[in-house]
Amino acid sequence: MSYKNYPMVSRVVFGRGCFNQLADIISPKRLNTRAPFIFLVDDVFKGDAWLNSRIPLAYDDQLIYISAEEEPKTSQVDELVEQIILTHKDRPSGIIGIGGGTLLDLAKAVAVMLTNEGESRDYQGWDLVKNPAIYHVGVPTISGTGAEVSRTTVLTGPEKKLGINSDYTPFDQVILDPELTKDVPKEQWFYTGMDCYIHCIESLNGTYLNAFSQSYGEKAFELCKEIFLDNDLSEEESQDKLMMASWHGGMSIAYSQVGVAHAMSYGLSFLLGTKHGIGNCIVFDHLEEFYPEGVALFKKMKKKFDIKLPQGLCADLDEQQFDTMIDVAISLEPLWENALGKNWKQTITREKLRALYEKM
Ligand code: NAD
Ligand code: ZN
């Protein structure tokens, strides 16, 4: 038996306002004046002086605004890498991603692809990356995905939605400033926050669970309950705690896996472009038989924050479309095995998944 030896984020700073230290943190990492820092920033911050005035642009540094309307694609990563190579004489000193899971994943993928030949679709999978990435920094502005700690970057390619899972994927530096999440709209806050909650439920109820995952998962679960069920947190406490819940939830699945909700939500996302947070919620709402207590609490949280999930997503789909979704979901074997054990194929048939999708 050999145990996995995981890389972790090398440095992390936490605190309200710590984003002010960005310049001090990255400037020692500048290789030379022709090797720029590239800032990939969610375009929701365009024109936002409060945030932008603290992005330290010098020499040939470049700021690229990117929409998080759609989740990252392999083609988008390849285009960004090409654009960066063509614009600058030297390889960048670093990539800084500022935004939610979408921007964090883009930053990780671009950092990896700047030092590895070929196209990003060639690296979707486990441990296919050969060369270390360039220095990369993650600055989350919405909490829940755990993308700030994970060793993957989830990309949609021509054939599959799958992460680049590698020892070179995790950030070298993460800046956790909960103040940056202050303007997240309520619905989005809930959807992305529930991604964290669902990571906890899937990890804690999985067959891969061990003491490492459990310790992080339980902490994240406890924080989620404080934030989404109890009534005694100030807005600031809630922002601080959700940022840490996301971190712990991400650490919890590092050494285990996600489960049924993620497998099925990947299917929705691949076919319909449904985004991760809301997609997980739509699926999880129908998973009582797999996670009875987790789903019951989820329904309470939904009610408390008056969240109305979209219904009838799969109402007008044809046979072929159902097949595509089922193919994507069922191919994620480690997720099913974690959720239901080695004999998962006895419970999870194509008919079973079809019946579940029809409810959504
Ligand atoms: P997101 O990055 O897609 O952003 C969601 C929305 O919130 C966008 O409209 C964005 O503009 C907005 N937003 C972000 N910060 C804001 C702020 N401070 N104020 C106002 N609006 C703000 O959302 P997400 O849920 O964080 O990320 C989802 C993505 O993360 C998916 O692509 C998913 O595949 C990925 N993901 C990755 C991992 C991983 O381990 N790498 C894990 C889970 C999910
Ligand atoms: Zn997730």
Average per-residue pLDDT in the chain? 97
47-76 pLDDT, tens digit per residue, is 999 999 999 999 999 999 999 999 999 999
Residue 192 alpha carbon, nearest atom of ligand 1: 25
Query: Is pTM, for the whole model, over 0.85?
Result: yes
Q: Closest ligand 1 atom to the C-alpha of 72?
A: 32
Pick the residue with more confidence: 310 or 2? Answer: 310
Q: Give Cβ neighbours of residue 321 (< 8 Å, ≥ 6 apart).
A: 271
- Ligand 1 binding pocket (C-beta < 6 A) is 42, 44, 68, 71-72, 99-103, 105, 141-142, 144-147, 150, 152-154, 180-181, 183-184, 188, 192, 195, 275-277
Question: In which region does residue 345 sit, left (phi positive, over 0), alpha (psi from -120 to 50) or beta (all else)?
Answer: alpha
| Sequence-ordered list of residues with C-beta below 8 angstroms from that of 192, at least 6 positions apart, any chain | 100, 101, 142, 143, 144, 145, 184, 277
DSSP 3-state of 101: helix
Per-residue pLDDT tens for 214-241? 999 999 999 999 999 998 899 999 999 9
CA distances from 288 to 96, 106, 285, 292 (A): 40, 34, 7, 4
Task: Note the pLDDT tens digit of each residue in 196-207.
Answer: 999 999 999 999
Q: What would the pLDDT profile of 30-51 be if each residue is shown by its tens digit?
A: 999 999 999 999 999 999 999 9
Residue closest by Cα to atom 24 of ligand 1: 101
Atom of ligand 1 nearest to the CA of 161: 34
Q: Alpha-carbon distance 196 to 179, whole Å?
A: 19
- Among all bound ligands, the one having the nearest atom to the CA of 191 is 1
- Token pair for 281: 């919620």
What is the distance in A from the centroid of ligand 2 to the CA of 266? 10
Closest atom of ligand 1 to 253 CA is 40
Which class for 323: exposed (0-12), middle (13-18), buried (19 or more C-beta within 10 A)?
middle
pLDDT at residue 159, as a whole number: 84
Q: Say how many Å lie between the CA of residue 360 and the centre of ligand 1.
A: 22
Nearest CA to ligand 1 atom 43: 145
What's the 1 CA to ligand 1 centre distance in angstroms?
Answer: 37
Q: What does the pLDDT look like over 72-124, one tens digit per residue?
A: 999 999 999 999 999 999 999 999 999 999 999 999 999 999 999 999 999 99
Closest ligand by atom to 152 CA: 1
